[in-house]
Amino acid sequence: MQPGHLCKTLLYGLFLFLTLHACKKTPAPTDPSQGQHPDNSGKSIYDSLFFISKDIYLWTDALPDSATFKPNSFSDPRRMFDALMSYKRDKDNDYLDRYSFLDNGGTSRVLQQGLAGDIGFEVGFQTMTTLNVIYVYPGSPADKAGIKRGWQVTTVNGVSNFKYRDQNTDNVLNNAFSGKSATFAFRKPDNTTQQLTLNAATYKVNPVLYSHIYTFNGIKTGYFVFNNFLALDEVKTAIDTTFDSFAKAGVKQLIFDLRYNGGGALNTAEYLANKLVPGAKSGTEMYTQYFNNNVNTQKFSPYFQNMKAVPYYPTYNWSEIFYQEATTYKTAKFQKEGAMEFSKINFLVTRSTVSASEMLYNVLKPAMNVQLVGDSTYGKPVGFIAISFGSYDMYAVNMQLKNSAGEGDYFKGLAPAIKAQDDYTHDWGDLSDPLLRAALIDMGAPAGSLGRMANISADRLARTSANRLDATHFKGMVQTFRK
């Protein structure tokens, strides 16, 4: 049976280097009988998680047998799942699987619908004790209140003492950003202050945070800040509008800012790759997916072989979908979109650049002149197909993506060709922004024409906090597959 024109929940990416507290639901009842598998097999959710992982986990050889692991000895599904995923180690005996997790379905729902329900901005530590706004979503409560990237946050719900990697600070931020309402005080770049109370609201996420065109020495360079890969239907218009403006202006070079982009929809990443790739490369390999031998040869347990793809595709078995991914859809090819031809592309990246963002650069690397500017990326060349168990979606790593040159083992991150440290005190497009400035100079802009370099504090940290806007800062990739 062919899955045909399916839109499966295949996540490539997910998980930055921070907690996923906001995208995990309240723990399920500890009684295993409360977590029955949807095929009515009578197996507990603990058995389901264990045996399906043995079938589809990319590193299944690292997992113990059931008698050794004792899945039903656990009292919470997430603890059991985390323990199972901890068996895979790298050559230094460190945990390799920093990625797998359980979710309540919220990841898939938000990515496909493009809806958020929060206050709409993110903060990060400029120094060990100072917080700044690092981005604001257009149309969000924060945007409507006039908040801008670069503003310093001086108080959060009356608290004014902040410290990086401090539990009390994390609690204050998590409560403020996950609650229905919070009060913030800000210091703006002109040293004026403002206090605002923001109420969480539902809004459509627009991941295009900023775009601009720079002209130096007669060469036009487009600048594009893209913050997450929503499903293509949700963002195609915004992407096309930006690229149409670049084409109309005669842009020849591109600075693609992915510094906080944790991933998103694979079909959107593919669409952008096809926008960027030279037309001469159309029809050549973009990437190849790699699964374990069970998936490649359909050697699944009877339990998984007969498991319906509920609730996503109830007329199909999960084993059919996995096998099709490993065979029919194993390799994706470039299909040029539009007429733009870029002579050079610089990607702005940081440790918060994850999954689909890394994949976009990696697949273009053998095809054209691209490079990274900033800091080393997170390192996530693997992905998932989400499998539902009652109230849970299981994201166990089950595939790896590699480009046409066979490159895709960047578990320690992708190193930049040009190193530059992020700075949270500048708004988008500010020529004092170290990453943007370094990229422009590399593309031929005379340093003298960019103005004076701003004084940067010696104690600059520029790291994101333990708070994440999990509803909007996506950490995965969902793909709509070909027939």
- pLDDT reported for residue 390: 76
- pLDDT reported for residue 110: 67
The type of residue at 241 is T
Beta-bridge partner residues of 372: 347
CA distance 462 to 131: 9
Q: Which CATH superfamily is domain 118-204 in?
A: PDZ domain (2.30.42.10)
- pLDDT reported for residue 154: 98
- For the chain, give every domain's residue range: 118-204
Q: State the pTM of this model.
A: 0.89
- Look at the block and give the residue holding tokens 């309540």: 104
- pLDDT reported for residue 393: 85
Q: Please, what is the average pLDDT of the chain?
A: 86
Q: Which residues of the chain have pLDDT under 70?
A: 1-43, 106, 109-110, 312, 454, 464-483
